[in-house]
Structure 1
């Protein structure tokens, strides 16, 4: 370390000695130069070398000068001090500084990565623990609900009703299967819509007189809902609704697709009993479907009549509601898994629709309305000319369909293992060109806009057609103030 020194560097020398005087002045200059470094916390260059002689500091002698006897030169600085020990880094430490910074960056990055991995592992463990706890809680909650439901079934307050061979149990509306869904544990049932879409009272200009077909009517007391119980219900599996909603099975269609934001759809549907081979596993249906979501993970709801002998053991037209959870890729129909909340005390889902239309004879229709409640955001299903509420799909069941739909399909559909290779009939089983009384029709197709108003679909956003014109066709397609109307269907591979 450099010392600032005192005095001029002379103790008793003669100031008249010019050599001595020059040497002292030179030493003073050196000391002042050294202070410029030491006062800033820096080490002076290695060229500053000193010798210690009787407590005084002198400059280093040059090679052409005679070295005083007995004097020893002492280098004050040979190597830079460790980085940071001097407080301020000198110019000679630039390389060391860069190396130290790089080393520290690598060390900090490794430390950060280790902390991130530990945090991720902790979060994963917490999520697993939370899921296990929630699962146990859900299972316990579901067990309690099933016990309550079984108690109602075995009590005198529960009545059994039969309709066309189908047995229904009248269940307390608050104990129906819908509330076994984990997302509906704390759900408060909504017994009726807060409002209906604007424009429901507009009468159709359809030139033909048609009668209304009826759903299965079960006489349950108010405050209860009918649930299909018998063996036919047990034969239904998730495979059935996957065919009705999913696109995994073979599929044939004849109808109208609509691509736009929408909050509901209504239609009047001509009811027939199309022929479907008994052991094919196929079904033929006609109805309304509303979707939203990415491909492969699409939320969906639908209402339709369908014929499916492989699952019901008969060839009757039956009325169904269905929905699909796009996140879990899980489908459901009627009350066979929790989801749809029924409020009607006398409509038997899964029951027969009757009477049905006869080729070149009496024609019967069903009126279907699916709409989103603008206040509760639940998706409601209403039936008939009077738009009687049947029930609703709670918005909490969905991700993409929670707020609105962006696609709808209205028309006929055949789906199943052989729906394309050995296709069943759609509609009446006759081509659209045969017209009224022979070809099935759908009329008064309207959508509900963001103002909760029934409007005629935009022709530029609608596509009508058939997946295979050799089997099914669309005819007399038109648009007016009452919506879209068309004839549809065909024989498939039946000849």
Structure 2
């Protein structure tokens, strides 16, 4: 496993601390970018709703994925985000940024770029060599980037939703039963309370709670975006209550009750999804994982605009030891006019955005960017299995 990072900021960069994550086999490349912002956020009001009935009247089944998922096409203005009082009656917005792919944003002072991040040299196609990890000879491959930068298993059974709709992974009764267990804390689509993030230094957590991180980070400036390429692996978890993930974080506020985060990457979480497939996910919170925020589209938060990417759907193909390697490239950036935080995949496909009003501190900017891995370990279950 290898890792590589560099940071762009108008303050003198501090060294990145790279920590190997043996259980994730994590490979990532990261850039922090700077742009402009003027939004002041407020806390979100969540609506739990009836997960099983939420889309009963408006959904049209698109496909049944080979992994068992059912993907529904739902009118974009009826997705969970628009249950929020600030969004009711509205429709998804369009990014105000200009064209461009990838990431270039650097400011030498107070002035910041006024459009969507672009590459120094615009390239539609990037050729990439991926080497095997481990012994047994050598193999590499060269790929052409596509717009989305990832493939999902359900694409084998369907293409994309019609214009004006988005693909939504259907919540099942089994999903809700798993969430009602003691291990999940009865918080469907949310992280356990108090999981937190690593603050102050990039290190392995010293607590015994079973929740651990290994990250590289950048702090001490004002950040308006982050980009990462994450190698996708079938991470092994020993019990349904455990998870393993690779992601990027944008963070603001103290590491107390007012912590704001935006997160995106891939995760293996049997508790949430019912299997061990690596899945594309997003997360957010504005109160340190207490009462606000959720994974994917499980609450009124993230607004999806993409008609092909299904939040929480399995990624396929994925990397294998001594075999071919596959990664996903993510860019999160703050729209300088609207103030929203946009999520972009690959060479330019916009997935959607987190409205700026969801946040207090992140409504203006991020104070820290992190890149790395996170696991939840159920020590009690492991002891019972022995």
* TM, length-normalised to structure 2: 0.63
8 Å contact 2:169–2:312 — kept in the other structure? yes
Structure 1 position 370 matched with structure 2 position 332: yes
- RMSD between superposed Cα atoms in Å: 3.3
1 CA distance for matches of 2:251 and 2:222?
10
Equivalent of residue 224 in structure 2, options 263, 270, 283: 263
* Closer, same or farther: CA 389–163 of 1 in aligned 2, 3 Å: same
CA contact (8 A) 1:243 1:416 kept: no
1:354 and 2:316 correspond: yes
Offset at residue 350 of structure 1 (A): 0.6
Corresponding residue number in structure 2 for 1:397: 358
Q: CA deviation at 1:403?
A: 1.0
CA distance in 1, matches of 2:119, 2:354: 23
Paired with 1:172 and 1:353, the residues of 2 have a C-alpha distance of 24
Contact kept? 2:259, 2:285, Cα under 8 Å: yes
2:213 is matched with which residue: 249, 253, 256?
253
Q: Which has the higher contact order (CA 8 A, sep 6+)?
A: 2
The change in CA–CA distance for 1:414 and 1:243 in structure 2 (over 3 A counts) is farther
Q: Does 1:292 align with 2:229?
A: no
Match of 1:224 among 165, 178, 183: 165
Corresponding residue for residue 24 of structure 2: none
- Aligned equivalent of 2:102: none
Q: Which has the higher helix share?
A: 1
Structure 1 counterpart of 2:80? 177
Q: How far apart, in 2, do the equivalents of 1:239 and 1:175 lie? A: 20
How far residue 290 of structure 1 moved from its aligned partner, in angstroms, is 0.7
Contact residue 175 and residue 274 of structure 2 kept, 8 A: no
State the distance in 2 between where 1:242 and 1:382 align: 23
Judging changes above 3 Å, is the alpha-carbon distance between structure 1 residues 160 and 171 closer, same or farther for their aligned structure 2 residues? Answer: same
State the match for 2:267 in structure 1: 306
Q: What is the deviation of 1:247?
A: 1.8
Residue deviations 1:222-279, cap 9 Å, x none?
Answer: 1001111142654456366425994295322223111132111011111111110133
8 Å CA contact 1:183–1:397 kept in 2: the answer is: no
Number of residue pairs matched by the alignment: 276
CA–CA distance in structure 1, aligned partners of residues 193 and 351 of structure 2? 20
Q: Distance in 1 between matches of 2:232 and 2:193?
A: 17
Preserved CA contact (<8 Å) 2:77 2:90: no
Shift of 1:201: 4.7
For the pair shown, the structure with the greater C-alpha radius of gyration is 1
1:152 paired residue number: 58
Mark the CA change 1:381 to 1:183 in structure 2 (over 3 Å): closer, same or farther: same
Q: Deviations over 1:67-112 (max 9, x none)?
A: xxxxxxxxxxxxxxxxxxxxxxxxxxxxxxxxxxxxxxxxxxxxxx
- Structure 2: runs of 5 or more not aligned: 1-44, 99-115, 131-140, 144-148, 180-185, 198-208
Q: Residues 20-35 of structure 1: matches in 2 within 5 Å? A: none
Quote the residue 1:214 is aligned against: 151
C-alpha distance in structure 2 between counterparts of 1:310 and 1:415, whole Å: 11
Displacement of 1:214 in angstroms is 1.3
Map 1:89-488 → 2, pairs under 5 A: 150-153=56-59, 158-164=60-66, 165-185=68-88, 187-195=90-98, 196-199=116-119, 201=121, 208=130, 209=141, 211=143, 213-215=150-152, 216-217=154-155, 219-231=160-172, 233-234=175-176, 235=178, 238=187, 241-243=190-192, 246-247=195-196, 250-259=210-219, 260-279=221-240, 281-296=241-256, 297-326=258-287, 329-384=291-346, 386-418=347-379
The answer to whether the Cα contact below 8 Å between 1:245 and 1:300 also exists between their aligned partners in 2 is no
Deviation of the 1:412 alpha carbon: 1.3
Alpha-carbon offset, residue 312 of structure 1: 2.4
User: In structure 2, do the counterparts of structure 1 residues 187 and 170 end up closer, same or farther at CA, with 3 Å as the change threshold?
Assistant: same
Native 8 Å contact 2:261 2:286 kept in 1: yes
TM-score by length of 1: 0.50
Give the structure 2 partner of residue 493 of structure 1.
Answer: none
Following TM superposition, by how much is the alpha carbon of 1:182 offset from its aligned partner in structure 2, in angstroms?
2.5
Contact 1:238 1:331 in 2 (8 A): no
Q: Indicate if the aligned counterparts of 2:95 and 2:335 stay in contact, CA closer than 8 A.
A: no
**Per-residue deviation, residues 119-163 of structure 1 (Å, max 9, x unmatched):** xxxxxxxxxxxxxxxx9xx99xx99xx99954323xxxx344222
Contact 2:246–2:372, Cα closer than 8 Å, also in 1 = yes
Alignment of 1:58-69 (within 5 A): none
